[in-house]
Structure 1
Amino acid sequence: MGKVLVFDRERSVSIEEYEERPLGPGELRLRTLYSGISAGTQLTAYRGTNPMVGGIWNRELQLFEKRQPGSTFYPVVGGWAYEEIGEVAEASPDVQEVRAGDLIYGAWGHRSSHIVTESFARAHRLAPGLKPIVGIFSQMGCIALNAVLDAHLHVGETVAVFGQGVPGQLAAQLARRNGAAVIAVDLDDYRLAKSKDLGADHTINSGTCDAAKEIRALTGGRGADAVIEISGSPHALHQAVRSVVYNGRVVAAGFYQGQAEGLYLGEEFHHNRIQIVCSQINAVAPELGNRWNRTRMEQTIFRLAGQGDLELETLITRIMPFSEASDAYAMLDRQTETNLQVVLSFEE
């Protein structure tokens, strides 16, 4: 029997058992080693603030529609987790190129096992030499890299990154690798200290100053050449708009909840002709589609990590047993501890 995390209702986590089915042709069973908790999207499902709670995404129309009376978002099986790493525990006899013990990353939720095809396993094999636990950064790494690609950065430019949680930390590192000077912005001094340690050129606590004025002072009054907003706060998005150069680009990579309270589009957005571009992990910008895709982004993240050009493991601040998942979510929800990346371990 396998075990899976379930959000029963708002702020309620349980662990349920499920029967593991036999393998079919060309399939492998993965034994999960680690699973990362996203303090963004996953917490919106845990807290009940996700738009899926009151609405249903109509894929055909690409519109949200209101839920019918009696329809419910819960239970959420797997907790919408998307940062897993496992090892091959069993393979069908016809599997040729993947072996027992190979490390495979992907997105299958907080569950103790998962079945994949051989072709999936080949494309998601963790690069040799990397510690298994860093495999949980495949999604967060892609979110950050996609935001940097959407920012259209050039050597010698300055980018401000609003939000220094895990995706913001990664975006800041990647922007520096891209040749940009980085201004890291957050409300938390612990996160900003980590940003400085990982190479940010400047850090700003936006709770203690006018961040836009500080950024303009650091750029000779011009403003940042590009801004990445990755915290998911409408207030931060407004400050990002205030901080960018005239006719500049703001990449909105955060997951915004509810109404955009604190975003004033009649002010700097209107008068400075600012572009706000959505960055979302399910696709790359159309102009990059001939050379970038999800697989290449994943491979790039792990290649940079293997070369020592991207720090991943240092972002992990807490590892907890899978059996304590409820405590882990409550801790992140209530912010009773300072954390960046919390990881659930299935090796209990």
Structure 2
Amino acid sequence: MNERPVPLKPNLPFQLTIEAPGKVGFETHDPQPLGPHEVRIATLYSGISAGTEMTAFLGTSPFLNRHWDPQQRLFVEGEQSWTFPMPAMGYEEVGRVVEVGTGVTKVHEGQVIWGTWRHRSEHVASEDWAAMRVLAPDVDPKLGIFSQIGAIALNAVIDANIHLGEYVAVFGQGVPGLMVTQLARLNGATVIAVDRMASRLEHARELGAAHTIDASQGDVAAQIRGITGGRGADVSIEISGAWPALHEAIRSTAYNSRVIACGFFQGEGQGLRLGEEFHHNRVAIICSQISGLNPGLDHRWDRSRLDRTVMGLIGEGRVDFGRLISHVVPALGAQDAFDMLRERPGECLQVVLDFQG
């Protein structure tokens, strides 16, 4: 790995930045003092999101090209919401408590905490926040990175409203897709996994997909109808963020049924032809996005419950997310890690930055 030294002051906390499209940087800062009910967490590992986070790294995110108005909840003309340089996104973190405030009673030094705090070497949090996110001592700390990406996958499965015995087609078998495959199967589905990469389809088979389809070979929708007795998938989940995959998910879905769109689509919808199966088969497209939940369940479910449910399933061994980690890279080699995800995505699944060096 082509490691680069952290600039500015040595031996201080640091975080990753995106200096320009395709260029990773680092910046240091003075340690944040602790309040009486706060804890300091030294980051152990931080996962890179190969979807949403890469849109920031590559400069394709709409936040870098449009202005997001949070009051109207609209992208509008004006100065873009994000500009370079900016902190790297980072939302898959786990770390160890190394210092506690004078009034802290709910956590102690040495405990491992999972959560979201960007790609930074340390994080200061309230003891209440940390106490809700203690990783069980018998769980590999690397698995702590999966709370949010796992919650995204679980949210898609909840939005899918799967019933026992239904066929669920999952389009995209990257990290979140392989999570959806496991969670949908756990929810009673017969999973049909779709991807263009043979290695990812092999992972899907090993993790419980009943059927796998290579999207580069033949008519996917026809194959899914063959598997389902001509009906089509009871529900399809698109989690690759590719417009043609969304179109194929629509084609593959049964009449009067639904597609869950969970991928972060970029730009205009090239390859999406809504005058065809979407229109004639009355297919509903439902957006699944982590900022909210199914409106029929949000009186019982919230973001915290999503996170805690995923981490509970990991701790109980009911899902195998550890198998999704393909590379562990020193944090100072982040440029190489991002470059690998951009240039050779077929070689990797979950890439993890190690902050312990």
**Structure-1-length-normalised TM-score:** 0.97
Equivalent-residue separation in structure 2 for 1:283 and 1:24 (angstroms):
31
Match of 1:133 among 142, 160, 170: 142
Equivalent-residue separation in structure 2 for 1:123 and 1:267 (angstroms):
48
Shift of 1:72: 5.9
Match of 2:85 among 75, 81, 85: 75
Mind listing any 5+ residue stretches in structure 2 that lack a counterpart? Answer: 1-11
Mind listing any 5+ residue stretches in structure 1 that lack a counterpart? Answer: none
Equivalent-residue separation in structure 2 for 1:143 and 1:121 (angstroms):
21
Q: Which runs of 4+ in 1 moved over 3 A?
A: none
* Equivalences for residues 199-214 of structure 1 within 5 A: 199-214=208-223
Match for residue 94 of structure 2? 85
User: What do the CA deviations read for 1:256-277 (whole angstroms, capped 9, x no partner)?
Assistant: 0000111111110000000000
Aligned residues with identical type, % of pairs = 49
Match for residue 34 of structure 2? 23
Contact 1:284 1:293 in 2 (8 A): yes
Shift of 1:187: 0.7
Equivalent-residue separation in structure 1 for 2:314 and 2:75 (angstroms):
38
Match of 1:168 among 154, 177, 196: 177
1:57 aligns with 2:72: no
Match of 2:298 among 285, 289, 293: 289
Q: Which amino acid aligns with 1:169?
A: L
Shift of 1:124: 1.5
Shift of 1:206: 0.6
Contact 2:63 2:82 in 1 (8 A): no
User: What do the CA deviations read for 1:106-151 (whole angstroms, capped 9, x no partner)?
Assistant: 1111100011011110112223421110000001110110000000
Q: Which amino acid aligns with 1:23?
A: L
User: What do the CA deviations read for 1:165-222 (whole angstroms, capped 9, x no partner)?
Assistant: 0110000000110111000000111100000011100000111111100000000000
Contact 1:226 1:245 in 2 (8 A): yes
Equivalent-residue separation in structure 2 for 1:302 and 1:108 (angstroms):
17
1:8 aligns with 2:23: no
Shift of 1:62: 0.5
Cα RMSD between the aligned structures?
Answer: 1.2
Question: Number of paired residues?
Answer: 346
Shift of 1:93: 0.4
**Structure-2-length-normalised TM-score:** 0.95
Match for residue 341 of structure 1? 350
Contact 1:54 1:67 in 2 (8 A): no
Match for residue 311 of structure 1? 320
* Equivalences for residues 246-257 of structure 1 within 5 A: 246-257=255-266
SS at match of 2:234: strand
1:216 aligns with 2:213: no
SS at match of 1:42: helix
Equivalent-residue separation in structure 1 for 2:86 and 2:170 (angstroms):
32
Match of 1:123 among 125, 132, 136: 132
Match for residue 113 of structure 1? 122
